[in-house]
Amino acid sequence: ELKVEQNPLFLSMQEGKNYTIYCNYSTTSDRLYWYRQDPGKSLESLFVLLSNGAVKQEGRLMASLDTKARLSTLHITAAVHDLSATYFCAVDGTLTQGGSEKLVFGKGTKLTVNP
């Protein structure tokens, strides 16, 4: 059974600082997603990572994927208050052996950026 673990679950940081969110998954899959969710809102797609070594950047966020280590990271550079949200990673479970769950999500990382 595919399991996806994120850490930390809660992250409070100062504006201007850098930090990394980690996403580990238990079974080989070649498709990993990062989503953002604001309170009371739906999920907004940030990145789709498709292959080992994939790196994508958008603004102050950069995501990478290491399929051999089954690890993805979401790096935040020079955080600003507008980045405060919950960030989820998700793995396509249908690409794992015997998997039937379309997306298996981590528990999410609640990020608070303080002025």
Partner 1 sequence: KAGVTQTPRYLIKTRGQQVTLSCSPISGHRSVSWYQQTPGQGLQFLFEYFSETQRNKGNFPGRFSGRQFSNSRSEMNVSTLELGDSALYLCASTYSGTGVQETQYFGPGTRLLVL
97 interacts with partner 1 by CB under 8 A: no
Provide the minimum distance between the beta carbon of 100 and partner 1 in the complex, in angstroms, as a whole number: 5
Number of other CB atoms surrounding residue 63 within 10 Å: 24
Which among 20-28, 62-70, 75-83, 100-108 is the span making contact with partner 1, rule CB under 8 A? 100-108
Contact footprint for partner 1 (CB under 8 A): 31, 33, 35, 41-45, 48, 50, 88, 90, 93-94, 100-108
